[in-house]
Structure 1
Amino acid sequence: MRKYDYIFAGTGLAALMTVYEMILSKKFTSKKILLLDSDAKKTNDRTWCFWEKPNGTYENLVSKKWNTAIFSNEIYSRDLDLNPYQYKMIQGLDFYNFIFEVISKQENIEFSNQKVISFQEENNQVSVKTETEHFTCQKLFNSIFNPKEVLSQDKYPLLQQHFIGWKIKSAESVFTAEKATFMDFSVAQKGNTRFMYVLPFSETEALLEYTLFSKDLLSEKEYEDEIKNYIEKLGIKNYEIIEKEKGNIPMTSYPFWNKNSKNIINIGSAGGWTKASTGYTFKNASKKSKALVSFLLQENDFRKFYKRDKFWFYDLLLLDILDKKNHVGSSIFSAMFKKGNPSLIFKFLDEETTFYEDTQVILKCPTGLFLKALFDRIIR
């Protein structure tokens, strides 16, 4: 049985960001750290996008950035000036290669390509089992998401941001390379919150994703049929599919932190690090990984790490609405973006606004829906 100071169960975004922050701090060189994952992170399995001011922590990994984003529905389209932000894209494999290259230079950190099957806290240490080995550690960082935990209760709704994306190269020059389509709700809603998301790389190349915020997944054919329809609507007759991707991100305000113990902390989607109202993960994980490493240098009890704030409650109200009336998502986001200040909206979604700024964003939304959700949540 091998012993470590810290073990990471799963090496997704949150785990790798946390390890990276530990390395940057230079405060953990005497600690033995083990990363466990059945996935060796050798493929470009995802694309992360986020808005951020110039020169962020992972700026060297950004493969494309946009200063303008488009918001559309069936009635209008608006160009959003993102200043002082930029919309940035990082390829999954670029991120993995960078982090693992840094890790490979650390004598105190190991990666083992094994699947974690169980872990348990006992006698002030944590026991971790894989399919072939047994380890112990002082602290465990778990990023293995268990949806059963959320599905077994009904106090906090669980939606999913699910999508299939095609990266295409077209014969026709139809894309504007300087503008990303943040949300296009002109597609048929079919009783859900559905939109197209387009990241153009040139006039002839782009990533198009058919995305939903809803409870249930679709058949693969339905996503792809909608992408084909959208491509046709853009006036593209000839194109080739370069890459495909798909994803499913949990959207919930379930208090995962209540499951933290003194020596086990849930991180990433398993810890509620995904922004519940949007499904965005990269920026949230970056912030929380920095906060977690700072916490580790001062505290010893993971139960003290997380506290609810006003943004958690705002997200909860939106999810309550979409859980009961999934079809109103388009009207909520459309009202917010039609006349709202884009930079203020993105600052709000980054959870960096004052209460006065919050009201400037929230009052752009259909107030009746949110007042009813507030009343229902109070009496619940």
Structure 2
Amino acid sequence: MRNYDYIFAGTGLSALMTVYEMVLSKNFSDKKILLLDADLKKTNDRTWCFWEKPNGRYENLVHKKWDVAVFSNEKYTRDLDLKPYQYKMIQGLDFYKFVFEIISAEKNIEFFNQKIVSFQEEDNRVFVKTETEEFSCHKLFNSIFNPKEILEQDKYPLLQQHFIGWKIKSSEAVFFPEKATFMDFSVAQKGNTRFMYVLPFSENEALIEYTLFSKDLLSEEEYEEAIKDYIKKLGIKNYEILEKETGNIPMTSYQFWNKNSKNILNIGSAGGWTKASTGYTFKSASKKSKALVSFLGQENDFRKFHKRTKFWFYDLLLLDILAQKNQVGSSIFSAMFKKGNPSLIFKFLDEETSFYEDIQVILKCPKGIFLKALFDRLYK
């Protein structure tokens, strides 16, 4: 059995960010680190989008960025000036290549293409079993998401941000490459929170995604029919599909950190690192990976890592509302963006606002349904 200081169960975004931060810190070169995953990360399986100020940590990987985001519903359209932020897009394969190239030069870090079967903590060590081998370590970072533990409880709702996207090239020049469509709620809601998301790369090339915040997935045909209808609505008659992507991101305020032990830390979606109210992951994972590496230099007990904030409770209230009345999502986001300060809203969604700034954003939302959600949650 091979022994390590740290093992990463899964090499998704959060795991790779954490390893990258460990390398940058130069404080772990004497530690043996192992990454385990059944996926080689050799395909462009996803894209990550996020807003931040210019010249961020991963600026060299940004595939495209926009200074303006568009919000729409069936009644109005608003161009959101994002300054001081930019909306940025990073392709999965570019990120994987970048991180793996860096860690491949580190003699103390190994990656094995193996599927993990189980892991358990015994006598201050963690034992990890794959389909072919067994390993041990002092500390395990687990990013393998298990929805079963959430589905078996009813205290915290579980929604899903699920989508199918087409990257298309059209004969007609209909897109505005300087504007990303952040949310377009003009599509039929059908009792859910449904919107189109458009990232234009040129006047005739864009990624178009049909996205829902809801409990249940749709058939593949329903997503794709909605995309076809939207393409037609844009005035496009001739186009080719260059790429397709699909995704399903858990949205929940379930307290994953209660499952952490002294030597096992849940990270990524498995640790609640995804922003519960929006499904955005990249920026949140970047912040938490930096915090984690700093924590490792000071503490030895993973149960001390997580700190719950006021934003966890804000997210919980929104998810409570959408779990009970999924159709009101459009009205909530529309109220927020219709007259709200875009940069303040994005700062709020990044969990960087003061309480005074929180109130400015919250007061833009429909007050009745949030007061009811607050009352119900306090007495639940």
**What amino acid sits opposite 1:353 in the alignment?**
T
- Cα distance in structure 2, aligned partners of 1:7 and 1:241: 40
- Cα distance in structure 2, aligned partners of 1:358 and 1:117: 43
- Cα distance in structure 1, aligned partners of 2:196 and 2:362: 24
Question: How far apart are residue 347 of structure 1 and its match?
Answer: 0.1
Question: How far apart are residue 249 of structure 1 and its match?
Answer: 0.1
TM-score (norm 2): 1.00
Question: How far apart are residue 65 of structure 1 and its match?
Answer: 0.2
Question: How far apart are residue 118 of structure 1 and its match?
Answer: 0.3
- Cα distance in structure 1, aligned partners of 2:292 and 2:29: 17
Mapping of 1:180-191 within 5 angstroms? 180-191=180-191
Q: In the alignment, which residue of structure 1 is the partner of 2:324?
A: 324
- Cα distance in structure 2, aligned partners of 1:282 and 1:97: 16
Cα deviations by residue, 1:237-294 (Å, 9 ceiling, x for unpaired): 0000000000000000000000000000000000000000000000000000000000
- Cα distance in structure 1, aligned partners of 2:331 and 2:14: 32
**What amino acid sits opposite 2:115 in the alignment?**
K
**What amino acid sits opposite 1:336 in the alignment?**
M
Q: In the alignment, which residue of structure 2 is the partner of 1:170?
A: 170
Mapping of 1:58-73 within 5 angstroms? 58-73=58-73
Mapping of 1:265-276 within 5 angstroms? 265-276=265-276
**What amino acid sits opposite 2:275 in the alignment?**
K
Cα deviations by residue, 1:215-258 (Å, 9 ceiling, x for unpaired): 00000000000000000000000000000000000000000000
- Cα distance in structure 1, aligned partners of 2:307 and 2:157: 20
- Cα distance in structure 2, aligned partners of 1:328 and 1:369: 9
**What amino acid sits opposite 1:309 in the alignment?**
T
Mapping of 1:21-170 within 5 angstroms? 21-170=21-170
Q: CA RMSD in A?
A: 0.2
Could you tell me the percent identity over the aligned residues? 84
Q: In the alignment, which residue of structure 1 is the partner of 2:368?
A: 368
Question: How far apart are residue 60 of structure 1 and its match?
Answer: 0.2
Cα deviations by residue, 1:70-97 (Å, 9 ceiling, x for unpaired): 0000000000000000000000000000
**What amino acid sits opposite 1:321 in the alignment?**
I
SS at match of 1:318: helix
1:6 pairs with 2:6: yes
**What amino acid sits opposite 2:176 in the alignment?**
T
- Cα distance in structure 2, aligned partners of 1:263 and 1:116: 18
1:250 pairs with 2:250: yes
**What amino acid sits opposite 1:295 in the alignment?**
F
SS at match of 2:168: strand
1:348 pairs with 2:339: no
SS at match of 2:202: coil
Question: How far apart are residue 49 of structure 1 and its match?
Answer: 0.3
Mapping of 1:299-310 within 5 angstroms? 299-310=299-310
**What amino acid sits opposite 1:98 in the alignment?**
F
User: Which aligned segments of 4 or more residues in structure 1 are displaced greater than 6 angstroms?
Assistant: none
SS at match of 1:201: strand
**What amino acid sits opposite 2:160 in the alignment?**
Q
**What amino acid sits opposite 2:240 in the alignment?**
E
Cα deviations by residue, 1:138-183 (Å, 9 ceiling, x for unpaired): 0000000000010000000000000000000000000000000000
Q: In the alignment, which residue of structure 1 is the partner of 2:219?
A: 219
SS at match of 2:105: coil
SS at match of 1:180: strand
- Cα distance in structure 1, aligned partners of 2:152 and 2:294: 33
- Cα distance in structure 1, aligned partners of 2:14 and 2:115: 17
- Cα distance in structure 2, aligned partners of 1:194 and 1:164: 12
- Cα distance in structure 2, aligned partners of 1:52 and 1:110: 32
- Cα distance in structure 1, aligned partners of 2:101 and 2:142: 22
SS at match of 1:315: helix
1:199 pairs with 2:199: yes
Q: Which runs of 5+ in 1 are unaligned?
A: none
- Cα distance in structure 2, aligned partners of 1:149 and 1:51: 31
Q: Which runs of 5+ in 2 are unaligned?
A: none
TM-score (norm 1): 1.00
Question: How far apart are residue 307 of structure 1 and its match?
Answer: 1.5
Q: How many residues align?
A: 380
- Cα distance in structure 2, aligned partners of 1:19 and 1:71: 36
SS at match of 2:99: helix
Question: How far apart are residue 68 of structure 1 and its match?
Answer: 0.1
SS at match of 2:163: strand
- Cα distance in structure 2, aligned partners of 1:238 and 1:309: 49
Cα deviations by residue, 1:303-328 (Å, 9 ceiling, x for unpaired): 00001110000000000000000000
